Structure 1
Amino acid sequence: MRISRPRRRRPRIESGKPVWLFDLDNTLHHASHAIFPVINQGMTQYIIDTLQVDLDEANRLRTGYTKRYGATLLGLTRHHPIDPHDFLKVVHTFHDLPSMVRSERGLARLVAALPGRKIIITNAPEAYAHAVLQELGIERLFERVIAIEHMQHGGVWRAKPDASMLRRAMRDAHVSLADAILVEDTRSHLKNYRHLGIRTIWITGHLPKQSRRDGVAAPLPGTGRPHYIDWRIRSLKSLRWGTRHGRLRGDTHATDSQA
């Protein structure tokens, strides 16, 4: 006999009350399609050229610093004499950005339909964030962009999922953490920020479905919905459905992926 678990009740969202904190890459557009491969290659080459290391060491530093600090840039600034602004500019320069940007159909309509304020918070640089938002046709829908340059404090570079950075950014934007809803593809960011009392939405539709492990394709782990995620969705369409019905509900048919 199958015993069904009672559904966890989700908080209702009052009309005009929420403050939506949107990540950018793999949240509002499909960065893994073309942009991320170019950025990763650019970061690796920058590390090779600047630190005079080989390819394997450059890749190790790039991925290791991202995992440890949330962004490769933070590890480079803390452990190596690099120019952070030059790094950001070089690795986020593209030959033809418009041809690389992909998103859900009707994205502008979906975002505009959400009640409340809307803010971008991204570990990407400001110029890149604005360029992508312009290509997506949704820049005007956000009251501000909190990019990695704005996350600095006391001369120290910071990035998601730094908790003190988010608290400070929300104070500057006059946002109560209780009103904030983070829509993000990276689970570690959601996990860290759930402890602050904000609501968390994991979007999986743009995530790669497989990883390479020792040269062999392997499914990404982390299926289901972890306890620190309030809603798991595949498409931004689910957000529109949730607000129309007075609350948000996870998409039970979401693709099993890991951020």
Structure 2
Amino acid sequence: MLERLAPIRNWIFDLDNTLYPASANLFDQVDQRMTGFIQDLLGVDWDEAHRVQKAYFHGHGTTLSGLMTEHQVDPHAFLAHVHDIEMDVLEHDAPLVAAIAKLPGRKLVFTNGDTPYATRILERLGLAASFEAIHDIHAMGLVPKPHASAYAGFCETFGIDPIESLFVDDMSRNLAPAKAIGMTTVWVDNGSEQAPADVDHDHIDFTVPALTPWLEAILER
């Protein structure tokens, strides 16, 4: 393994577009259902609902956080609605299962989704038994990544030393608070973030196009 990764004892992974490839377009289904939810809630057309959705996502961290702040939306009702999707686009990922199994130390999922949704995805990928725990949006007190409190709460819950931790996410903005507390950061740069090209990425330690090949590469060292 890479010498600089020798201190890592905690391997932390985002869920959507990180543990499965963005090309699966699974989250597109969630995205569509979020837009539809806003369309019905506000009585606006699809384009305006989509604009509001993205404004809340970028301004509040998640669409849900924006809806809760601006419209007092029930988070349970929202999550149940947007996560009611088919997952047949996901397949058992034997190489990823094998790579994660070889990582030394603890393995955890840290997601702005909820646990039932995350569990369904992990089961489809063959990863249901690969992780110690799922830390979801409810465990964060509904305050999502990239808010600093989400990371502090995660570390406190699991007794994690950030210096001994590595965090993988497809959203570079979600890695900045992790780096600020001492974590090693891995950005899965697959286009899912849709951030401006000139965004500062100094908080990124590793940039990879996909997770599995990178894990296999570091495990071969």
Q: What's the TM-score, normalizing by structure 1?
A: 0.77
Q: Please tell me the residue identity of whatever aligns with 2:166.
A: I
Candidates 18, 36, 47, aligned match of 1:56: 47
Over 3 Å counting, the alpha-carbon distance change for 1:12 and 1:129 in structure 2 is closer
User: Is 1:239 matched up with 2:187?
Assistant: no
**CA displacement 1:168-210 (0-9 Å, x = unmatched):** 1111111111111001110111123211111101123x4359x
How many pairs does the alignment contain? 219
Report the CA distance between 1:132 and its aligned residue: 0.2
- C-alpha distance in 2 between matches for 1:116 and 1:222: 35
Partner of 1:77: 68
- Could you tell me which of 180, 195, 202 is aligned with 1:227? 202
- 1:92 aligns to 2:83 (yes or no): yes
TM-superposed deviation, 1:115: 1.1
In 2, the alpha carbon distance for the partners of 1:208 and 1:79 equals: 25
What is residue 3 of structure 1 aligned with on the other side? none
SS at match of 1:46: helix
Answer 1 or 2: which has greater helix percent. 2
- RMSD between aligned residues: 2.5
Q: Which runs of structure 2 are paired with 1:94-243 in the superposition (5 Å)?
A: 94=85, 96-97=86-87, 99-101=88-90, 106-152=95-141, 157-204=142-189, 206-207=190-191, 221=197, 226-235=201-210, 236-243=212-219
Shift of 1:222: 5.7
| 1:67-118 deviation line (CA, Å, top 9, x unaligned) | 1121100000011032110100011111x31x22257651111111111100
Identity %: 31
Q: Note the residue ranges of structure 1 that are not aligned, 5 or more in a row.
A: 1-8, 212-219, 246-259
| Secondary structure of the corresponding residue to residue 21 of structure 2 | coil
Q: Show structure 2 runs of 5+ residues with no match.
A: none
Shift of 1:244: 4.1
Q: Give the equivalent residue in structure 2 for 1:215.
A: none
Q: Deviations over 1:130-189 (max 9, x none)?
A: 00001111121100001111110xxxx210111122111111111111111001110111
The offset of 1:60, in angstroms, is 1.6
Question: What are the superposed Cα offsets for residues 53-78 of structure 1, whole Å, 9 maximum, x if unpaired?
Answer: 22232112110111112110000001
Greater radius of gyration (CA): 1
Query: 1:167 corresponds to which letter in structure 2?
Result: A
CA 1:103–1:72 in structure 2 vs 1: closer, same or farther (change >3 Å)? farther
**Alpha-carbon separation, structure 2, partners of 1:77 and 1:207:** 27
What amino acid maps onto 2:27 in structure 1?
Answer: F
**8 Å Cα contact 1:32/1:207 also seen in 2:** no
- Asked if structure 1 preserves the Cα contact closer than 8 Å seen for 2:91 and 2:124, the reply is no
Deviation of the 1:43 alpha carbon: 0.6
Contact 1:125 1:147 in 2 (8 A): yes
Q: How far is the alpha carbon of 1:239 from its aligned partner? A: 2.3
Would the aligned equivalents of 1:161 and 1:188 in 2 still touch at CA under 8 Å? yes
